[in-house]
Structure 1
Amino acid sequence: MDHQLLVFMKVVEKANFSHAAKELHMTQPAVSQSIQILEKKYDTQLLERNNKRVALTKAGEIVYYHGKEIVSLYNRMNELIYELLEKAEGQIAVGASYTFGEYVLPKILASLKKKYPLIKPKITIDNTAEICEMVANQQMDIGIVEGNVDRQKIIITETIAKDYMYIITGKNHPFTKKKEITVKDLANEMWIVREDGSGTREATEKLFKMLNFRPGQLMECGSTQIIKEAVEAGLGISLLSRWAIKKEEQLKSLCLLNVHGLPLERDFSIIIRNSKFQTKATQLFIETLRNDHNHINNNAHT
């Protein structure tokens, strides 16, 4: 690996020369010299410096962005070579969308730990669009998402399980006493929805299109937990995965509405970068997902 590149990336991540020097066990003048060598190599300034922080120039952004890919590829190469000689162990970077990551993935991780205790998953939870981007940019070894996946040319997808989504209300909402919920009822209600880029928001938009209405009132939230609490408080209604509301349903603090055409079905999918090389840890993680596939599906409706 290019030593100057590694020093540069550490300075960017710490946004401070002295902090980077301390973590790299180098003197601050040595760190400054490494950055100067790299800037001389490219004959351009990579960092804007002041007394407190450093910031990337446009050229610096390019070097840092591709540097992350280089480091990822270098680490992957070492893991693949090591695994030819030794048993699978070490880190695997796993990205998951909120619904799968918060309500399904913990069970998968418990199964993985029991079978392969030397594999150490590093988990990132974000919306579907961000996880797809991180997998495509090799910041993640594998992702599990719901909804449509872009960048099909560089990402392979595989459906792993079904998800079922219901319109939910708080236990004291007037809808819980109605025998029939009309489209007009739904259109006139406050809808509490996830942000754009979320698989749950994509499913909600699909529901609006399917039932041919557009709510007059939308409240956008970046967290499923906040949505559940808002619905419990009587602020409105929402469309969420059955996985996300199991506890609240058991406690009867949230109710499922009986609406024609529901539940809405969608897929949980594995996504990986289109490459013939995978670490053994990644292969074993995917194998664990596939083996637990039936368990996931059998519990999705109950």
Structure 2
Amino acid sequence: MDIPSLTAFLTVAESNSFSLAAEKLHLTQPAVSKRIATLESQLDTQLFDRIGRQINLNEAGRILLPKARQMLELMKDSRQQINNLKTQVKGPLAMATSHHIGLRRLPGILREYSRRYPEVKLDIRFVDSEVAYDMLSRGEIELGIVTLSPDNPDRFQSHRVWHDPLIFMAAKDHPLAGLKKVSTQQLSEHQAILPSSNTFTYQLVRKLFEEEGLSLQTAMSSNYLETIRMLAAIGLAWTILPASMLDDDLVALKTQCHTPSRNLGYITHRERTLSNAASAFLDLLNQQAD
């Protein structure tokens, strides 16, 4: 089984389409079909059920899928180790980060990194922190600069760079803004604007309310913290945001409950060798640790 055929197989399986796979691989559709046919000939079995224009993995294809991923990742890691024998910091560096970290924490680091290592081709994906974990698991990125998961999976290494305290906030004319102390019960009686329910931040807040047997009234959600901030600032609901986002148009609510906090940092995969480019970037990040 050759690498091009396995790559074509994996791309078709993930796309459920020969034409989409061809676009992603920058090949013609007949070229992709030929690579799949070659692989099926080598294995002496079909890997996809083709019904009209629909294609789906059959049982043989589902068995091969995780093995194909492992083989391609092993080849990628072997190539990386060989490349690391060289001392140059150059080549591609794929990373993922959240919009909040990218806007508020990384500009200076990226500027300095690009100045020091102009031959590195940065590929930065702006995604939710939770998505970055999935991308790292699939080998799509080398590292993620994210909100760290409270329960770090064993296959990942995580390192805290910044402590990111959170603050309950509301507009100055919000009913809660004038109270000397705000209880969790009072928070639960008013609508909130929070990140979506699958985010680490939402899970921290939900846990706080569940511990007191209270429910959250969520008016709406957004994973863009700047959007949440704007909606809270015009008085639609209270929210919880990093302390660094508090400004004159919002007030900090003096809550009686414990305010959750989160850690920001980077994640890497334990079983993958970092490129020189990634290692150099982490060296700069570690210098920023608080």
Instruction: Tell me whether 1:179 sits opposite 2:175 in the alignment.
Output: no
SS in 1 for 2:85: helix
SS in 2 for 1:191: strand
Q: 1:30 to 1:157 in 2, by over 3 A?
A: closer
The corresponding residue for 1:39 is 40
Sequence identity (%): 24
The corresponding residue for 1:122 is 123
The corresponding residue for 1:166 is 167
Which of 252, 258, 281 does residue 256 from structure 1 map onto?
Answer: 252
CA distance in 2, matches of 1:239, 1:64: 41
Contact 1:69–1:137 (8 Å) recurs in 2 = no
Q: Given residue 135 of structure 2, which amino acid in structure 1 is its aligned partner?
A: M
1:27-106 equivalent positions in 2, closer than 5 A: 28-49=29-50, 52=53, 54-57=55-58, 59-61=60-62, 63-106=64-107
1:167, distance to aligned residue in structure 2 (A): 0.6
The corresponding residue for 1:269 is 265
SS in 1 for 2:34: helix
- Structure 2 unaligned blocks of 5 or more: none
Q: Given residue 136 of structure 2, which amino acid in structure 1 is its aligned partner?
A: V
Q: 1:239 to 1:30 in 2, by over 3 A?
A: closer
Larger CA deviation: 257-266 vs 193-202: 257-266
Q: Given residue 277 of structure 2, which amino acid in structure 1 is its aligned partner?
A: A
SS in 2 for 1:174: coil
1:148, distance to aligned residue in structure 2 (A): 0.9
1:31, distance to aligned residue in structure 2 (A): 3.4
CA distance in 2, matches of 1:89, 1:107: 20
CA distance in 2, matches of 1:24, 1:156: 30
The corresponding residue for 2:287 is 291
1:289, distance to aligned residue in structure 2 (A): 0.6
The corresponding residue for 1:300 is none
Q: 1:54 to 1:233 in 2, by over 3 A?
A: farther
The corresponding residue for 2:112 is 111
The corresponding residue for 1:214 is 214
- Could you report, residue by residue, the CA deviation over 1:176-213 in whole angstroms, capped at 9, with x for unpaired residues? 23333233321211122222331211221243256x35
Contact 1:127–1:199 (8 Å) recurs in 2 = no
SS in 2 for 1:214: coil
CA distance in 1, matches of 2:252, 2:5: 57
CA distance in 2, matches of 1:54, 1:181: 56
- Structure 1 unaligned blocks of 5 or more: 298-302
Q: Structure 1 length normalisation: TM-score?
A: 0.78
CA distance in 1, matches of 2:233, 2:54: 44
Q: Given residue 292 of structure 1, which amino acid in structure 2 is its aligned partner?
A: Q
Aligned residues: 287
CA distance in 1, matches of 2:261, 2:28: 57
The corresponding residue for 1:149 is 151
Q: Given residue 253 of structure 2, which amino acid in structure 1 is its aligned partner?
A: L
1:24, distance to aligned residue in structure 2 (A): 5.8
Q: 1:230 to 1:84 in 2, by over 3 A?
A: same
CA distance in 1, matches of 2:20, 2:179: 61
SS in 1 for 2:215: coil
1:270, distance to aligned residue in structure 2 (A): 2.4
Contact 2:22–2:28 (8 Å) recurs in 1 = yes
Q: 1:98 to 1:215 in 2, by over 3 A?
A: farther
Which structure shows the higher helix fraction? 1
Larger CA deviation: 215-224 vs 190-199: 215-224
Q: Given residue 269 of structure 2, which amino acid in structure 1 is its aligned partner?
A: R
CA distance in 2, matches of 1:177, 1:220: 23
Q: 1:40 to 1:200 in 2, by over 3 A?
A: same
SS in 2 for 1:167: strand
Q: 1:202 to 1:105 in 2, by over 3 A?
A: farther
1:97, distance to aligned residue in structure 2 (A): 4.2
CA distance in 2, matches of 1:292, 1:54: 48
Q: Given residue 267 of structure 2, which amino acid in structure 1 is its aligned partner?
A: I
Q: 1:140 to 1:265 in 2, by over 3 A?
A: same
SS in 2 for 1:91: strand
- Could you report, residue by residue, the CA deviation over 1:41-95 in whole angstroms, capped at 9, with x for unpaired residues? 3344333446656444454355445534543443343233223235111222223
